[in-house]
Chain A
Amino acid sequence: MAMKAEALDGQEQISNPRGLPITSDFQVDPADNFTGYKSFRAGSFKFRRDEYFVYLECPKATHQMPVDAFLRALMRDVAWGFFYGTVNFDQVFGTTNFYGEVDMFIGATNEAYTKAGRDFVERFKADQLMEIFKEMVSDWTNEGYDPFAAPMETGVPWGVKNGDNDEAVSRERVTARRMVGLPGDTPVRTDENGYPVNRMFADVEQDQPEVHAEPGFEHEVSAFNLFGYLSRSDVTWNPSVCSVVKDSLFCPTSEEYILPVEHGNDRCEWFIQLTDEITWNIKDGDTGRPKAVVTAKAGDCCCMPADIRHQGFSAKRSMLLVWENGSPKIPELIRDGKAPSVSVDF
């Protein structure tokens, strides 16, 4: 039986399971004399970087991350507009999206922190926190470094402030309205429009399908080479919407190295491995306890339950179809126990 999200009317207001007030004091501190990087404050959170590390501070804890891992995660959080559910930058720091408002935390999804009462969470308006995150990723990214690119295909993030790469860090997530390649929709990628074939996909055929539309049906009889499109992606781990059936969103992406975040979705999310292989480390969403290791080869279909977090590893660049249900009512249904955290019961 198909369970419909629409049938179970969710609340229209923004959910706030922790009942937190909105914090709206932000500050950008001037560039450090030695490193040249600005520091940032959002509520009681402080962010600072030096040549190798990012330093996070909140009233209950301090935390340190390597700057490459931090920037790759921050880049995704920014480009995805905080994405679905929780974006764990690592096992300590992250954000949870409530679609309009965002919880930012240290330790809230880490059993050791929560048990010891060391977790700290503050709530922000999404657009306000986004503004400071965008300024941070812009200031902390040096010339020649692209946090979206696979590490072997870009410069290094280390060292003192050296220019910027605003063109790369201001990319937005591509979202087709109906299907890539339709007139007026997201265009296909070509050499000419700046998307050469990636070196690891040199053997992917670049032919386009035969399309024989009778006059007047050019807007409806339409097809494109999805594998060719993905082989030309200049970014990694950045699902972009390619085809849409109501709330069913095909978000294929090209993957290489490591998913820069541990994604704790607030709903089920499917992975259809289109080519090559990805290993997924699965941990509990609330505690971080390891639960499974999934090996996905070409053709494998796998559901990520709504109560876990996942992080993928792709040794060779691969094509992954991330399949999302964009219905805004699902997170509430799952939190209220009205929908299961698994997608199929058999």
Chain B
Amino acid sequence: MTQYTTDFGSLHDYKKGKVGIIDDDPKRYVFSNLFEAAAKAQPWERVAVAKNFEYVIESVRAKGISPWYTAAHDEFVLSMDGKCRVDFVKLDDPDAVVDPESEGAHQLSGDPEGKNMGYVVLGRGHMAMLPVGAAYRFSADEDCTIIIQTIDGPVTVHRWAEICQTEA
């Protein structure tokens, strides 16, 4: 039987495609590579690589231990290429930490106050929920790339001109 090899790509080994123009402006396609965006970012910078109205997908270089974050809505994280742990704390008073009407992830100034909920360890391709009402923190012994499904917020970094194809 034919052996197929799945091409995953990773922070340290990715190939980038392109927008081949016939008659259009390449900027309209907002074309970037999430591994490249993570590779060029500081650890834990949450760089937007996709945006649709208020919603974003952030690409993050996971390395060491992240700050604690929380949001007034669910978020989801997907490990693209490595091992990343996520710790969860059920906030005693989530509304005091983050405005319940607010959007996007908010960074906590210190450690969260609340009950330990447990943790997950994600490998490549594993997805976890970052549930509303919880604070969460990522950690990764070796750097890898995670993407986060969330809403544009105070920790979202926009550097489209640096990460996207602009020329035909």
Contact = CB atoms under 8 A, between A and B. Distances in A.
Contacts of A289: 23
A260 to B, nearest CB: 22
A325 interface: yes
B10 to A, nearest CB: 8
Interface stretch (A23-31, A120-128, A239-247): A239-247
A182 interface: yes
Given A224-B126, A226-B78, A272 B117 contact: no
Interface residues on A, range: 35 or more
Nearest to A219: B131
A182 B52 contact: no
Contacts of B57: 270, 272, 301, 323
A209 B126 contact: yes
A293 B52 contact: no
Contacts of A180: 127
A302 interface: yes
B53 A205 contact: no
Contacts of A186: none
A344 interface: yes
B75 A245 contact: yes
A78 interface: no
A301 B19 contact: no
A214 B16 CA distance: 41
Interface string B1-43: 1111111110000111111111110111111111110000000
Nearest to B150: A245
A2 B29 contact: no
Interface stretch (A86-94, A137-145, A275-283): A275-283
Interface in A238-285: 242-248, 250, 267-268, 270, 272-277, 282
